[in-house]
């Protein structure tokens, strides 16, 4: 994490809190590092869900990253605004979302878009919309490799769906998508074993596809926890996302991935309600609250605090009977889960040379940008 006080902001008195702050030098370091962790930059397809930022997207493109993954129409549009060459909507569009996706494709023709499909009915719906709109829509078969959230199990049914998609007008079948978000063991050997087990049926499906004489499938697989594993498999496109900002949860769990934490939430002590306790302006609306109370935020300059209560606008902590905290004291919080924490802020304040310098809009935080 660098020197003990890399995060200090000299003009922090000008910053209202709670505030999401990012350190561009550390973001650029992480982008450079991720490129060294794979043999070919064109195998990188980072997910933008962590940062949702046009500025960060442009930094990645400037660094030579050409392929991206996203989860929302707003993120897809943001990447179109950045002129990203290749964007996968890692979501199966249905209803109005499908119509919006078609509009994004038409609005940003310099970007090649694709999406996921995991059943024949949706494949037919996407085909019909493509024909109606006089376009081609590129699709990947979404495989369920153990997360049990979306996707079709790799096997005979997936092969049938693959065959169907090849025959449908308006569709261009590019390959397979296998997200293994259920694998997040901190023990690397356990993670490796579970990853190998989850990917086995996928490779069998690829062999079955080849045996039928179909064109070679592109495989997009993995997320941040398994990136250091999947990246070693030749030819697979990898989709880490959290690396760009990193967080306390991943820093603790995956030490083999030496990314720098690059986004913090700055907070203040706002009350001393009773002896031994302090109240901080960091509620549910300011930091992701899905984890247990002790694992929502880690204060870099106050690691001894013990959290007692958390509500919409307040975080109450035990500081010890003889604590020295005063109202107005600044706390630098490292989120345990940065992705949903970032989505709580409409902008990230940039910190350079220990000074507030500018801001990066969280562009795709909104469900809709223009489309």
Q: Which CATH class is domain 263-364?
A: mainly beta
Residue 192 pLDDT > 90, yes or no? yes
pLDDT tens per residue, range 308-348: 999 999 999 999 999 999 999 999 999 999 999 999 999 99
Cα–Cα distance measured from residue 60 to residue 47, given in angstroms and rounded to the nearest whole number: 11
Q: Note whether 288 and 295 are within 8 A (CB).
A: no
Cα–Cα distance measured from residue 327 to residue 331, given in angstroms and rounded to the nearest whole number: 11
Cα–Cα distance measured from residue 149 to residue 184, given in angstroms and rounded to the nearest whole number: 16
Smallest Cα–Cα separation from 56: which of 341, 355, 263, 288? 263
Q: What are phi and psi of 347, to 5 degrees?
A: -155, 155
Smallest Cα–Cα separation from 261: which of 40, 50, 46, 35? 50
Kindly report the average pLDDT of the chain as a whole number.
Answer: 97
Cα 117 off chain centre by: 20
pLDDT tens per residue, range 30-84: 999 999 999 999 999 999 999 999 999 999 999 999 999 999 999 999 999 999 9
- pLDDT computed for residue 3 by the predictor: 53
- With both helix axes pointing from N to C terminus, report the angle between 73-81 and 54-62 in degrees, rounded to the nearest 10: 50
Which residues, in sequence order, are CB contacts of 316 under 8 Å at separation 6+? 273, 277, 278, 279, 280, 307, 308, 309, 310
Q: How confident is the model at residue 1 (pLDDT cuts 50, 70, 90)?
A: very low
| CATH 3.20.20.10 domain range(s) in the chain | 25-244
| CATH 2.40.37.20 domain range(s) in the chain | 263-364
What's the CATH number of domain 25-244, 3.30.450.20, 3.90.950.10, 3.40.50.1000, 3.20.20.10? 3.20.20.10
Mean pLDDT within 148-164 = 98
Residue 4 pLDDT > 70, yes or no? no
């Amino acid at each position: 994490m660098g020197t003990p006080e890399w995060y200090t902001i000299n003009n922090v008195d000008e910053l209202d809190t709670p505030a999401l702050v990012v350190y561009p030098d550390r973001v650029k370091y992480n982008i450079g590092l991720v490129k060294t962790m794979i043999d070919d930059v064109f195998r990188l397809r980072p997910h933008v869900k962590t940062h949702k930022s046009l500025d960060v997207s442009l930094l990645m493109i400037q660094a030579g990253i050409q392929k991206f993954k996203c989860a929302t129409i707003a993120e897809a549009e943001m990447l179109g605004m950045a002129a990203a060459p290749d964007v996968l909507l890692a979501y199966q569009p249905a209803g109005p979302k499908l119509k919006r996706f078609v509009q994004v494709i038409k609005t940003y023709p310099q970007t090649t878009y694709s999406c996921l499909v995991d059943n024949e009915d949706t494949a037919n719906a996407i085909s019909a919309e493509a024909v109606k709109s006089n376009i081609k829509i590129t699709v990947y078969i979404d495989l369920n490799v153990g997360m049990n959230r979306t996707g079709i199990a790799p096997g005979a049914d997936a092969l049938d769906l693959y065959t169907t998609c090849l025959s449908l007008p308006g569709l261009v079948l590019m390959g397979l998508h296998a997200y293994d978000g259920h694998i997040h063991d901190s023990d690397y050997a356990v993670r490796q074993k579970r990853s190998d087990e989850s990917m086995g049926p996928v490779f069998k499906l690829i062999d079955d596809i080849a045996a039928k004489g179909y064109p070679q499938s592109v495989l997009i697989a993995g997320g941040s926890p398994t990136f250091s594993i999947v990246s070693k498999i030749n030819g697979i496109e990898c989709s880490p996302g959290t690396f760009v900002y990193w967080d306390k949860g991943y820093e603790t769990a995956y030490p083999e991935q030496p990314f720098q934490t690059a986004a913090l939430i700055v907070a203040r002590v706002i009350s001393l309600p009773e002896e031994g306790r302090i109240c901080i302006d960091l509620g549910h609306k300011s930091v992701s609250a899905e984890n247990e109370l002790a694992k929502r935020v880690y204060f870099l300059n106050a690691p001894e605090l013990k959290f007692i209560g958390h509500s919409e606008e307040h975080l109450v902590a035990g500081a010890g009977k003889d604590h020295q905290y005063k109202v107005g004291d600044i706390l630098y919080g490292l989120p345990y889960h940065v992705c949903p924490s970032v989505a709580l802020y409409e902008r990230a304040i940039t910190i350079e040379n220990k000074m507030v310098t500018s801001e990066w809009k969280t562009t795709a935080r909104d469900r809709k940008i223009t489309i």
